[in-house]
Structure 1
Amino acid sequence: MNNDVIAVVAGNEITETDFAAFTKNLPAQQQAYLQNPEAVAYFKEQFVALHLFAEYGREEKLTETEEFKAIMKQTERDVLSQLVMQKIFKDIQITDEDAQTYYDANKEKFQKPETVSAKHILMDTEDTLETIKKDIENGVITFEDAAKENSTCPSGQKAGDLGEFGRGQMVKEFEDAAFAAKIGEVVGPVKTQFGYHLIKVEKRSDAAIAPFTDVKENVKNTLLREKQQEAYNKTLAQLKEKYC
């Protein structure tokens, strides 16, 4: 690792290694700027400034104040607690086999609901939408072009495409019509609180158990959290017995 000296403050060298450790603790949004040389130079200036202000604080004997001592006591508590957490969690691992066993025993938790993929055209007037529907059925215009030209919904810019959705995600009138429609059939106008809709279902997926490969990482994360919580509770009980 590059250990070039960035600056010297009160006889102490501040190196690139020190700066790298500093940047790891920056918020993710700020870390993104580290690709910019000007931003790196700015952060280095701020890093050196921290050392300068800290040195001034020592000179002013702020380390001897009760406020400093209280803050350091709280900081020590927080850091030690975090290090202990890392220690009790470090050996916890969840294998693919662990996840598979959990999945096999709890498949009902991975039930994918019935869904449809649909497009729609939204307008304020039913009569106009009826005319558009006839034009679509007679081949005068495609559903997609009609959506682009007439729909008042932002999805009109995407040819009316709403993507895939399950029950409970749309208003009831729209949902009932969409789930009752045949694939490729144009249904409506359907009245909802938003206006009148023509609906065209593109695809239907029946309820099914999600395959293990689709949920493996979620299962592993769930098991990891459970194991960590168990380790936390066990250690906490031991510490209460020891120190309380």
Structure 2
Amino acid sequence: MSSPNETGLPEGWEVRRSNTKNLPYYFHPETKDSRWEPPVGTDPDKLKAYMANKHSSTRLPNPASFEVPEGKIRAAHLLVKHRDSRRPASWREAKITRSSAEAMEIIKDYESKIQKGETTLSELATTESDCSSARKGGDLGFFGKGDMQKEFEDAAFNLEKGAVSGIVSTASGLHLIQRLE
């Protein structure tokens, strides 16, 4: 178990790994409370550093090791939430208070860095995405038509393999999407 000083979590909370989703989550053994988002009182900078070092994986599966399911694509994304998002909380922040304009500035900066080749979507998603898929470099796995929000789905299905979308707005927040398969 890691100390609160290392994880940034409030006293009594720890990071565990889900057996079913193989993703980290937050657990308080005394109260038996568990959640995907960090508890109130978390230090987001310490948690971000801890999760990047201990619980993230930017390694994507070898494409030769599986077949693409018919009618499905595989994509990764980087999500920036704002206070008007349908769930204004994430693994990085228990309560997201930034405005949609502030979120737009943040994601424009990420988009610029990716376009300039300074970083990849997967690298940025690992530490900056407000989605739990950050632990997998933003990889959402395979999905078909009707599985995602319409705006997200339309953008993802219209991308060529390897391409990164422009900024896509959904009820969840602002996304950059990369089609993987």
TM-score, reference length from structure 2: 0.49
The structure richer in helix per residue is 1
State which structure, 1 or 2, has the greater radius of gyration over its C-alpha atoms: 1
* More contact order relative to length (CA 8 Å, sep ≥ 6): 2
